[in-house]
Amino acid sequence: MENILKVRQTLMNSIFEVFERMFYVFLEPAESRPDGEHSYRAAISFSGPLMGELRAFFSRPLAEAMLRNMLNVGGNEINERLMSDCLKEAVNMICGNFLGKHDSGQVFDLSIPTYDSGLQVDDIKAATDFGALRLDFSGGEGSLIMVMMTFSGRDLSVG
């Protein structure tokens, strides 16, 4: 049995670390769960001793800040290809960081990340799995991210 509180803290630390080091964005846990303000989704699956999927839903202001800070682009230079690459790389780094912290002695396989844009409120609600670990963060000024991690074949308990 895994302790869900430990998994939650490890995931939160991984998110903070990746955003601070790679994107120079300092996130804070969100007080509420603002559905419908996320325009982009990136996801990656993982397998090994722990199997599951990590999905992240990004608001446009956050995604643009990530692009500006990582690639030094903005305004007219932002396009769908750069947005896709940046957000897919973000979930790849978060998942890799998490798995390394969770169990550094094991080998995990990661899928190729996926990306969707133009999400609607119903898309976000449909993607909210019962039993998934969900973390919401704000980077200020409309910069929001919701990260969901689901696990398969494992019992995650609170105890």
**113-144, pLDDT tens digit by residue?**
999 997 654 555 555 555 689 999 998 888 89
Pick the more confident residue, 132 or 90: 90
Query: How many angstroms separate the CA atoms of 68 and 15, rounded?
Result: 18
Residue 1 has pLDDT above 50, yes or no: no
Residue 88, domain extent: 2-157
Helix, strand, coil shares of the chain, percent, nearest 5, are 40, 30, 30
Cα angle value 80/44/117 (rounded, 5°):
25
Alpha carbon distance 42, 89 (integer Å): 9
pTM of the model: 0.88
Domain count across the chain: 1
Structure tokens at 31: 């007080």
Q: For residue 142, what is the DSSP state?
A: T
CATH number, position 33: 3.40.1550.10
Averaged pLDDT score across all residues of the chain: 87
